[in-house]
């Protein structure tokens, strides 16, 4: 009888046929670029990918955070500064990166929670530039450099399906990212394109988004089916699942503690 062993590598579940020496959902030796990988969910993705044996390139707009992240990750991680609001910088970044296997896009500033009437055009454009336009251009310049079997994984958010008052801009952008992903999955096939839709995850993102982050996270968690908010590590495991599973594309995977049901 053929024996199979399940291995957990940094949150990535790998099924390996011991007698054949083959594996699926395999990340070891792969080169993964994580834009937004210096903090929060992106850093958790990088940490788990390194634990799975991947070579990781983390990119962020803040050089100090990039340096700190690569130091924490250790070998074989590398880091580079990238302003995702600068289209020319994105093009140059991928030209310098060369060929690689997977792109994960988690970049984004603090969420803009503000009534439509009070949101200025400049504020709206700034958020759009980083969260949608940066993702679009990253896909554009990354796609020609992705190796066979490669993938792109975007980030949206639960507001795409469960918007709250004051979140029209963020809900619109995250919903747009999900539509973009489906369209690119068709256009770029067999390259795979997916989206992770996090719910409320405990990261530093909330520090600049709400007045009292701890109270917000506590209250938000009490309303979920899980009775708590998620962790960056739990969200990261979902990213690595779609990165590693060669049969998943055009999918939006929610990691939201049951937010869609309450």
Here the tokens at position 11 are: 């949150």
Q: Indicate left, alpha or beta for 74 from its phi (over 0: left) and psi (-120 to 50: alpha).
A: left
At residue 51, the 3 state secondary structure works out as helix
Query: Are residues 60 and 82 in contact, defined by beta-carbon separation less than 8 angstroms?
Result: yes
DSSP secondary structure, 244-257, as one string: H-TT--S-EEEEST
CA-nearest of 236, 253, 254 to 48 is 236
CB atoms within 10 A of CB 111: 20
Alpha-carbon gap, residue 63 to 54, rounded angstroms = 22
Q: How far apart are CA 184 and CA 179, in angstroms?
A: 9
Question: From the candidates 110, 156, 181, 209, which is the catalytic residue?
Answer: 156
Those residues with Cβ within 8 angstroms of residue 83's Cβ, 6 or more apart along the chain or in another chain:
61, 89
Rounded to whole angstroms, the maximal C-alpha distance in the chain is: 66
156 is catalytic: yes
Catalytic (active-site) positions: 156
């Amino acid at each position: 009888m053929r024996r199979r062993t399940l291995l957990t590598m940094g949150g990535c579940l790998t099924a390996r046929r011991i007698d054949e020496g083959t594996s699926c959902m395999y990340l070891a030796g792969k080169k993964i670029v994580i834009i937004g990988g210096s903090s929060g969910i992106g850093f958790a993705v990088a940490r788990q990918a390194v634990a799975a044996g991947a070579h990781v390139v983390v990119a962020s707009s803040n050089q100090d955070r990039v340096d700190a992240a690569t130091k924490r990750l250790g070998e074989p991680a590398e880091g580079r500064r990238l302003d995702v609001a600068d289209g020319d910088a994105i093009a140059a970044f991928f030209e310098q990166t060369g060929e690689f296997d997977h792109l994960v896009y988690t970049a984004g500033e603090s969420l803009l929670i503000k009534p439509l009437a009070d949101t200025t055009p400049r504020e709206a454009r700034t958020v759009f530039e980083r969260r949608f336009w940066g993702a679009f251009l990253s896909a554009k310049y990354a796609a020609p450099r992705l190796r066979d079997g490669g993938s792109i994984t975007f980030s949206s958010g639960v507001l795409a399906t469960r918007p709250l008052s004051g979140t029209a801009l963020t809900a619109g952008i995250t919903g747009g990212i999900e539509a973009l992903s489906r369209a690119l999955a068709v256009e770029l096939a067999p390259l795979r394109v997916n989206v992770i839709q996090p719910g409320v995850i405990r990261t530093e993102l909330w520090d600049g988004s709400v007045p009292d982050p701890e109270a917000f996270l506590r209250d938000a968690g009490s309303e979920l089916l899980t009775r708590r908010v998620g962790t960056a590590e739990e969200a990261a495991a979902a990213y690595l699942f779609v990165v590693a599973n060669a049969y998943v594309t055009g999918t939006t995977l929610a990691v939201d503690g049951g937010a869609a049901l309450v």
